Each structure stands twice: as structure tokens, then as C-alpha cells.
């Protein structure tokens, strides 16, 4: 696996499913700033209808719908339907994630801890999402909320160093000195 962070404000997302797990994923996508989300649900729970609003289509996506999305999340569907949608995604070149069915996944959503723009992710490559979640909770306890301000202060300094013509090597050295002088890891 190759870890990347995707800017969901720029990419189209199709979310397929009917129940609570689909609602949870939609809330996560909305919270992450996803701007182009289309929800497909044949029999959605009431809360999903409310959260999705006019983004909801009450049918499963066809190949044109899947092709229109950069990313496809398939959640809480019967195995046969999920397999069929994953095959369509593969055929049209849309990356897909079938929740908790590793063999149909082109990517996994890692467990993560965020403090402003600082993000730490944990992945088990789909082998044990529960373990990843427990490690995430341990990191949350260690990574107090103040890390967001630390990152912002460092970013201000880094911008000054760059504007002053610092080389990559100098940026690295200045960053280490800045962190060490504040005892962030002592």
C-alpha cells in the first residue's frame, strides 16, 4: 500500500449504502470538506435521507454514475451487490473501497488523529480495523490539542525561512532546531 491524503474538496465521491455505517461515512466525508458527494441508497434509513438531502439518489449507481466519480465507497450492502459495484468501478477506472471486504478494495481509510492540519494515520491494510482504531485512541491521548498551534507556529517560521532563500537542507535543520528548542519531544 502507498499512503496518500486526498483533497476531497476537489474530487467527486460516490457513496453507496443504506444504513448507519453509510450515514457514519457520509458524516465523515462532510466533516472532511468533501464537496462533490453523491449518495446512492435503495432503502436508506431516515437519518441518511436527512444528512444526504438533495445528494441522495434512491437507486444503486450504474456504470455511468460510477464512472463520474473519482472515488467509490460501498458500505453495508449485500456481498453480491458490493462485488458487482466493485467490478464496475474496476472496469471504469474509479478507485473503490468496499467496507470490510479487503479483496474488493483499491484503498483503505486509515484510522486517524487530527489536530488542525496535523494528521497521523494508522492502517493495518484492512487486516484489523479494530486494532487500528485502538492504536488511534492511544495516539489521541498522547497528542494533546496544543499540537495544532505548534504546527501553525512552525509553519509561520518555515514560510519566513523559505522566503529568505533557505535550501531544503537548511529548512530541515531550522525545523529540527525550532522543535528541539521548544522541547516538543523531550
Backbone angles phi, psi at 113, to 5 degrees: -125, 130
pLDDT value of position 58: 98
Cα–Cα nearest to 79, from 95, 58, 65, 100: 100
* C-alpha cell read off for 160: 519566513
Shared domain for 127 and 86, answered yes or no, is no
- At 75-122, the pLDDT tens digits run 999 999 999 999 999 999 999 999 988 899 999 888 889 998 899 999
- Return the CATH number at 25: 3.40.50.720
Residue 145, CA distances (Å) to 118, 150, 186 in order = 10, 10, 17
Shared domain for 71 and 136, answered yes or no, is no
Interval 178-185 mean pLDDT: 95
How many structural domains comprise the chain? 3
Shared domain for 132 and 175, answered yes or no, is no
Cα–Cα nearest to 89, from 119, 61, 53: 61
Shared domain for 151 and 138, answered yes or no, is no
Shared domain for 105 and 173, answered yes or no, is no
Residue 7 lies in a domain: no
Q: Which residues of 137-153 are buried (b: 16+ CB within 10 A; e: fewer)?
A: eeebeeeeeebeebeee
Domain with 155 in it: 147-181
pLDDT value of position 47: 98
- Whether 139 and 122 have beta carbons less than 8 Å apart is answered as yes
**Burial level of 21, CB count in 10 A (0-12/13-18/19+)?**
middle
pTM of the model: 0.82
Shared domain for 96 and 27, answered yes or no, is yes
Amino acid at each position: 500500500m502507498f499512503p496518500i491524503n486526498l483533497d476531497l474538496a476537489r474530487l467527486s465521491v460516490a457513496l453507496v449504502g443504506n444504513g448507519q455505517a453509510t450515514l457514519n461515512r457520509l458524516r465523515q466525508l462532510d466533516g472532511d470538506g468533501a464537496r462533490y458527494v453523491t449518495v446512492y441508497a435503495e432503502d436508506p434509513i431516515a437519518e441518511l435521507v436527512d444528512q444526504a438531502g438533495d445528494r441522495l439518489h434512491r437507486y444503486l449507481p450504474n456504470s455511468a454514475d460510477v464512472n463520474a466519480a473519482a472515488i467509490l465507497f460501498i458500505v453495508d450492502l449485500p456481498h453480491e451487490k458490493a462485488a458487482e459495484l466493485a467490478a464496475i468501478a474496476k472496469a471504469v477506472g474509479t478507485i473503490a473501497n468496499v467496507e470490510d471486504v479487503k479483496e474488493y478494495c483499491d484503498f483503505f481509510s486509515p484510522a486517524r488523529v487530527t489536530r488542525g492540519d496535523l494528521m497521523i494515520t494508522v492502517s493495518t491494510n484492512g487486516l484489523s480495523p479494530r486494532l487500528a482504531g485502538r492504536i488511534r485512541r492511544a495516539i489521541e491521548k498522547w497528542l494533546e490539542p496544543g499540537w495544532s498551534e505548534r504546527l501553525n507556529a512552525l509553519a509561520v517560521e518555515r514560510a519566513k525561512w523559505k522566503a529568505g532563500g533557505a535550501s531544503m537542507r537548511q529548512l530541515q535543520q531550522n525545523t529540527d532546531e525550532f522543535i528541539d528548542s521548544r522541547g516538543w519531544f523531550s
